[in-house]
Structure 1
Amino acid sequence: MGERSYIVAGGHQLEVERHRAQPRHGGAPRPVLVFLHEGLGCLAAWRDFPEALAAATGCDALVYSRWGYGGSEAVSLPRPLTYMHDEAVTLAEVLEVCAVPRAIVIGHSDGASIAILHAGGGRAGGRVRGLILEAAHVFCEDLSVRSIAAIRTAYMEGDLRERLRKHHGDQVDGAFWGWNRAWLDPDFRHWNIESALPGIEVPVLVIQGEEDVYGSIAQIESIEARCRGPVTRLLLPQCGHAPHKDQREPTLNAMAGFVSASMGS
C-alpha cells in the first residue's frame, strides 16, 4: 500500500498515491513512474500494478485519480470535448506540486492520449523522459464509438454501474457519463490529436491487445509514423483493452525493460 494524500491541481482536489521503491546505489537519479488511468478508471483501479513496476525498476511510482474519478473532487457535467487537452495541462501542475523532476509517464486509453498531449504539446518542460502508452487513441474510430455505445447499454441495463461504484462511490454517474457522453457526441467524431505526435522526441513504448474492441492497430501505426523519438510496439495476442490486466506479466516485463533502457541501464 502506498502513501495516500490529496493535492490541488487544475483547480480541483485530487487523490494521489506514492509508492516508494527500494533505494538503489549508483547511477543517475531515477525518474518517477507517473500513471494516468483510463476513461472509467481511477487510482484504485490500477490495483497493485504501479507498486509491482516500481519494485521491478527501482523507480518511485506516482498514481492519481483525475478530476471526477475515485476519491478526487466530483466533476461538473457535461465534460467539454477538450477534456483530455485540459487534463494534459493539469498533469503539468501535478508534476510540479508533487516535485517530480523527471518522469516516465504511463497512460492507459484516455490516459495515454493525455500523456501524448502533454509530451507533444510543449507542456513537459523537459521533465518527461519517456512514454508508455497502453491502448492509446490519437483519433476517433468507428470501432471505438460502437464499443462505447455498447458499454452505455451495459451501464444502464446491467451491473456495470454497481461494479464501477466500488471505485467511484457516489460520483459514479459523473465519472461514467462525463466520459461516455463526450465520446458519443457527434462532434467528437472529429477529435484527432495526431498533430501532437511530431512534438514527441523521447522514447515511446506502445502496447495494445490484438482483441482490443476500443481501438485498432491503426492507432499504433499513426504513433509510429509521426513521433520523432524511437517507438517500440508490443502487440499482445489474447489481450483486450487493458494489457496490464489481460496480459500482466508480458506487459510488466516490457515496461520494466523500457524503463531500464530509458535510464541507460
Structure 2
Amino acid sequence: MNRRSAAGTVYADVHALGRDMRLECLWIDSPRPGAPLLVFLHEGLGSVSMWKDWPRQLCEAAGCRGLVYSRYGYGQSTPRPPQEKWPVDFMHGQAREVLPALLRALGVDARQDKPVLFGHSDGGSIALLYAAMHPDAVSGIVVAAPHILIEDVTVSSIEEARRAYQETDLRARLGRHHADADSAFWGWNDVWLDPAFRAWNIEEYLPRIACPVLAIQGVDDEYGTLAQIRGIRRLAPQTELLEISDCRHSPHKDQPARVIQAVAAFVGGLESHR
C-alpha cells in the first residue's frame, strides 16, 4: 500500500508519462494538528538523501509536515534505462502528470490539503509549472534558483559538470545518493545540452500562477543570473523576491538560516490568510 502518514520512507507505485515507476518518498511529521504540507522538489542531480536533514529543519521551523521524494531516474526511485532520452519538455511532464499522480498514490487530496511546494533549480521550474497547471491544488510555492529560460551561463556550467563527471570523482560521489548515478547524471546532462533545449522557455506559464510565490536566488549563482527570478516577478507580480549575497546555486546550503527564516515567514503568511 502506498499510503503512509507516519514519518519515514515509503515507495509509491505511480503510473505517469506512459510508464510505471516506483518513487522513493520520505514523510516528515509535525506535532501541530492541521500543519500544512510542504513538498520538496529536488534539483537536476538531487535526491531524497542529497537534501540531508535540511527539509526536517525547515519543517520544524515552519511548523509543517513534509514530503520529500526522488523523481524517476534519481535516488532509489526507478532508474532511467540507458537508451531513454528525456524530452525537452520533461519538466512539463513532471508538473502535469507525475507530481499529481504521486500525491494521489500517497492519499493526498491536493485540492483539499493544498500543499506548499519548495523547489530547487529544476525542481523550482517544476513547481512554477505545477502552480500554473493546477492553480486549485497548491497554496503557495517557494522556488530557489529556478530556471524560466536558458542562459549562456547555465549551459557553460552544465558543460563543466559533464567534464567533472568524466574526469573527477563526481560519479562516485553521486553514487552515494543514486541507485544508478549514470541514470541521474546523463538524463539531466544530455537534455540540457541538447541544442533543441536552447529554445526552452516557460515564461508563458507564469501569468497563470494565482498563488503567492517566494523566489530566492544567490547573487553568485553559477547556473543563472538574477534575470530568472526577476522575470518571475515581472510576469507574476505577487512574487516576493529574496536575492542573497555570498550565495551560489544552492541557497539552502550556502545560506541555510536565511532561507529557513524566509520560508517560515512565507508559510506563516499563507496560514494567516486562510
Asked if 1:172 is matched to 2:181, the reply is yes
Aligned counterpart, 2:116:
104
Instruction: Check conservation: 2:141, 2:213, Cα contact below 8 A.
Output: yes
Secondary structure at the counterpart of residue 128 of structure 1: coil
For the pair 1:87 / 2:100, whether they are aligned, the reply is no
Shift of 1:83: 1.0
Note if 1:219 corresponds to 2:205.
Answer: no
Q: Which runs of 5+ in 1 are unaligned?
A: none
Using the TM superposition, give the Cα deviation of residue 99 of structure 1 relative to its aligned residue in structure 2, in angstroms. 2.8
- 1:153 correspondence with 2:158: no
User: How far apart are the structure 1 equivalents of 2:90 and 2:13?
Assistant: 18
Quote the Cα distance in structure 2 between the aligned partners of 1:55 and 1:97.
Answer: 25
TM-score of the aligned structures, taking structure 1 as reference length = 0.94
Length-normalised TM-score, structure 2: 0.91
Q: Which moved more, 1:62-71 or 1:97-106?
A: 97-106
The one-letter amino acid paired with 2:29 is R
Q: In the aligned structure 2, how far is the partner of 1:43 from the partner of 1:156?
A: 24
- Equivalent residue for 1:18? 27
2:186 aligned with 1:181, yes or no? no
Identity of aligned residues (%): 43
Rounded Cα–Cα distance in structure 2 between residues aligned with 1:219 and 1:114? 14
Structure 2 counterparts to residues 34-45 of structure 1, below 5 A: 34-45=39-50
What is the CA–CA distance in structure 2 between the aligned matches of 1:249 and 1:219, rounded to whole Å?
Answer: 23
Structure 2 CA distance, aligned partners of 1:96 and 1:56? 27
In the alignment, structure 2 segments of 5+ residues that lack a partner are 1-5
Per-residue CA deviation, residues 10-56 of structure 1 (Å, 9 max, x unaligned), is: 231001010001125xxxx3320000000000011111111111111
Q: Which amino acid aligns with 2:60?
A: A
Q: Show the 5 A alignment for 1:1-265.
A: 2-9=7-14, 10=16, 11-24=20-33, 29-76=34-81, 77-88=84-95, 89-100=97-108, 101-121=113-133, 123-124=134-135, 126-169=136-179, 171-227=180-236, 230-264=238-272
Measured in 1, the distance between the counterparts of 2:261 and 2:93 equals: 32
1:174 deviates by 1.1
Cα distance in 2 between the residues matched to 1:23 and 1:30: 6
Q: How far, CA to CA, are the matches of 2:160 and 2:196 in structure 1? A: 19
The answer to whether the 8 Å contact 2:214/2:242 transfers is yes
User: How large is the RMSD of aligned CA atoms in angstroms?
Assistant: 1.4
Distance (Å, rounded) in 1 between the aligned partners of 2:122 and 2:241: 18
* Off by >3 Å, runs of 4+ in structure 1: none
